[in-house]
Chains A and B, each alone.
Chain A
């Protein structure tokens, strides 16, 4: 029962360009979403979040967009940097747990 889905397992982007990572969810009751970044052999680290009362949240190079009617959110990174190469997970808290997507591996090519 995959309530949070990331359909693109990988993405490659040139340095300086925009990276767009997508996430879909099925539970219309979700009211908060988070993006985590994960390097190999490390745990996920929090990147940015958005409440369902907003449709956009920006933090430096990172912007998350939420389209509630489509049950879709996206993470934009601009400009992309080689250090952004990592696996990105979207997550939604519900009850006592977080539901995570399967992740998108981003590679930023210098």
Chain B
């Protein structure tokens, strides 16, 4: 059973370009979470999605950031017109559809975004 997969592992973008980060959850998991880790900080929640639905995007910046989890295919975190402050490690986690939500989150290896 493959774990959570993220690609690319490293992404370099120039200021103003778009960044697309992909996350494939573990088999059987229908819940996906995105976190961002800035240098010297802990992981900060960005968004929680289920298939075709954004459940909670309270941690997402209001502009330039969007996320989706289509019926088929991976979840995508999209950052438009990247700026240097977007440089960070972006982690995806998935969880099974446990009653009451549950507390299991399995993390992918992360995508390190560098904006030059």
Contacts and interface: CB of A to CB of B under 8 A. Distances in A.
Given A4-B42, A44-B91, A89-B42, A96 B107 contact: no
Which of B33, B35, B42, B55 has the most C-beta atoms of chain A within 10 angstroms of its own C-beta?
B42
Contacts of B43: 44, 89, 98, 100
Question: Interface size for chain B: under 10, 10 to 19, 20 to 34, or 35 or more residues?
Answer: 20 to 34
Interface string A26-55: 000000101010000111111001000000
Contact of A96 (B41, B56, B106, B109): B56
A45 B107 contact: yes
Contacts of B48: 96-97
Q: Is the interface of A mostly helix, strand, loop or mixed?
A: strand
A68 to B, nearest CB: 18
Contacts of A93: 101, 103
A97 B31 CA distance: 12
A63 interface: no
Contact of A43 (B40, B101, B110): B110
B44 interface: yes
Nearest to A97: B45
Which of A4, A98, A99 has the most C-beta atoms of chain B within 10 angstroms of its own C-beta?
A98
Contact of B103 (A49, A100, A101): A49
B25 interface: no
Contacts of A36: 107
B49 to A, nearest CB: 10
Interface in B70-116: 91, 93, 101, 103-110
Which of A4, A32, A93 has the most C-beta atoms of chain B within 10 angstroms of its own C-beta?
A93
Contact of B33 (A45, A97, A101): A97
Interface of B: 4, 6, 9, 33, 35, 40-45, 48, 55-56, 58-59, 91, 93, 101, 103-110
21 contacts: A34-B103, A42-B109, A43-B6, A43-B91, A43-B110, A44-B91, A44-B107, A46-B105, A46-B106, A89-B42, A93-B101, A93-B103, A96-B101, A97-B48, A97-B56, A97-B58, A98-B33, A99-B45, A100-B42, A100-B44, A103-B42
